[in-house]
Chain A
Amino acid sequence: MQSHSAEIDAAVVSDEQLLVQVLARDPAALRQLYERHGSAVYSLAQYILRDAAVAEELTQEIFLTVWNKAEQYQADYARFRTWLLSITRNRAIDQLRRRRRRIQSALSLDDASVAEEFAPLVEPIDSQRELHLLLRHLPPEQRLAIELCYFQGYTHEEIAAHLHIPLGTLKSRILLGLKKLRAMLKDGDAHLP
Chain B
Amino acid sequence: MMPWTLGVSETVALRSALDCFRCGGTEFIQAIRRNVSLEMQHSQVQEQIPLYAVGGLTEDESARVAQHLDVCPSCRALWSEYQFVAAELLEHVPPQIVPAHVGARLLNLAAADARRDASFEKRRAARSERARFWERGVTMPRWAFGLLAIFLLFLFGAVGAFAWQSQKSNAQAAQVQQLFAARNLKFVPIRSEDAAANDKGYLCLTAQNSTGLLWLYNLAPLDHEHVYQVWLRDNMGRENGGTFRADYDGRAVAVIQAPRPLGEYQEIGITIEPTGGSLAPTTPRVFVGKLD
Give me the interface of A with B, judged by CB distance under 8 Å.
25-27, 30-31, 34-35, 38-40, 42-44, 46-47, 52, 55-56, 59-60, 63-64, 67, 77-79, 82, 85-86, 88-90, 128-129, 131-135, 146, 149-151, 156, 171, 174-175, 178-179, 181-182, 185-186, 192-193
Do the beta carbons of B89 and A150 come within 8 Å of each other? Answer: yes
Secondary structure class of chain B's binding surface, majority of residues = helix
The 7 closest A-B pairs by CB, nearest first: A134-B92, A47-B93, A178-B50, A129-B94, A85-B90, A42-B98, A27-B110
- Which single member of B55, B82, B90, B98 contacts A182 (CB below 8 Å)? B82
- Which single member of B56, B85, B97, B114 contacts A25 (CB below 8 Å)? B114
Bound Cα distance from A128 to B94, whole angstroms: 8
Nearest-CB distance from B122 to chain A (Å)?
A: 14
Does B88 touch A at the CB level, under 8 Å? yes
Do the beta carbons of A186 and B81 come within 8 Å of each other? Answer: yes
- Which single member of A55, A133, A146, A156 contacts B94 (CB below 8 Å)? A133
Do the beta carbons of A27 and B85 come within 8 Å of each other? Answer: no
A residues in contact with B102, CB < 8 Å: 38, 42, 56, 59-60
Do the beta carbons of B51 and A171 come within 8 Å of each other? Answer: yes
- A39-B97, A174-B51, A185-B84 are known; give 11 further A-B pairs, CB within 8 A: A30-B106, A34-B106, A44-B90, A56-B99, A59-B98, A60-B105, A67-B110, A82-B83, A85-B91, A129-B94, A133-B94
A residues in contact with B292, CB < 8 Å: none
- Which single member of A30, A181, A186, A193 contacts B107 (CB below 8 Å)? A30
Do the beta carbons of A132 and B96 come within 8 Å of each other? Answer: no
Selected A-B contacts with CB under 8 Å, 24 pairs: A27-B111, A30-B107, A34-B103, A35-B103, A42-B98, A42-B102, A43-B94, A47-B93, A56-B99, A67-B106, A79-B87, A90-B55, A132-B95, A135-B92, A149-B56, A156-B56, A174-B50, A175-B47, A175-B50, A179-B50, A181-B85, A181-B89, A186-B81, A192-B92
Do the beta carbons of A40 and B91 come within 8 Å of each other? Answer: yes
**Residue of B whose beta carbon sits closest to that of A48:** B93
Known: A43-B94, A132-B95, A185-B85. A63 touches B50 (CB 8 A): no
Residue total for B at the interface (Cβ-Cβ under 8 A)? 38
- Which single member of A31, A39, A55, A193 contacts B92 (CB below 8 Å)? A193
Bound Cα distance from A42 to B99, whole angstroms: 9
B residues in contact with A146, CB < 8 Å: 54, 89
Bound Cα distance from A133 to B85, whole angstroms: 13
B residues in contact with A42, CB < 8 Å: 96, 98, 102
Nearest-CB distance from B180 to chain A (Å)?
A: 42
Mark contacts of B223-237 with chain A using CB atoms, 8 A cut-off: 1 yes-contact digit, 0 otherwise. 000000000000000
Nearest-CB distance from B73 to chain A (Å)?
A: 14
A residues in contact with B117, CB < 8 Å: 25
Bound Cα distance from A82 to B81, whole angstroms: 13
Mark contacts of B68-87 with chain A using CB atoms, 8 A cut-off: 1 yes-contact digit, 0 otherwise. 00000000000011111111
**Residue of B whose beta carbon sits closest to that of A132:** B94
Known: A39-B98, A146-B54. A63 touches B88 (CB 8 A): no
